[in-house]
Amino acid sequence: MSVFEDLRNGIPYDIRDEKYHKEAHGEMDRCRHICYKINSTDPNEKERIIELENELLNDQMKDGTYFTPPFQVDVACRMFLGKNVFANHGLTVMSIGTITIEDGVMMGPEVGLFTVNHEPNNIRVIKTGEIHIKKNAWIGARVNILPGVTIGENAIVGTGSVVTKDVPDNAIVVGVPAKIVKYI
């Protein structure tokens, strides 16, 4: 089993572990290099950007899916994207714990998706929690979504929120930490 599957299954890893270092850092180096190329490309060269995004995300940039540069994805092999997913500029993705983003999701500028955290008693040990963003969710600008969170279908997360717990379908959440303010 890969380090990525171990982490997805709740197995913590010491970041100094040889297997972790080889698998995780190999993918991180690949992603960092491709993100650099994307972020250095003239914004008017949309075809080139899409070509590079497909290289990064294993041909998942289809049917309207597009990330506006600049952005950073650290472990693209653990991201799974639907159709018509849009992310505005400044997206930061730490996806070693796996991220699934379903069809029609919209993300505003400077959104952060974080699937990894460190053990408080040993900061060299990481653990992860999968993020799942369901169909047609809308994530506002500068929202941070923490490990283990599911954002429900048609949910709206207000600008600047920090999401620490699951958001139900059709809920609107705002704040730090994000709380439900109403349903649509």
- Is 118 catalytic? The answer is yes
CA distance 122 to 146: 19
Handedness of CA 163, 132, 105, 50 (dihedral sign): positive
- 99 forms bridges with which residues in the sheet? 79, 131
Closest by CA position to 140, among listed 154, 156, 155, 162? 156
Tokens linked to 122:
């040993």
Cα distances (Å, whole numbers) of residue 159 to 4, 137, 143, 163 = 31, 13, 6, 11
Calculated CA dihedral for residues 122, 72, 100, 60, nearest 10 degrees: -140
What are the φ/ψ torsions at residue 52 (nearest 5 degrees)? -70, -40
Could you say which of 25, 33, 118, 132 is catalytic? 118
Q: Write out the catalytic residue numbers.
A: 118
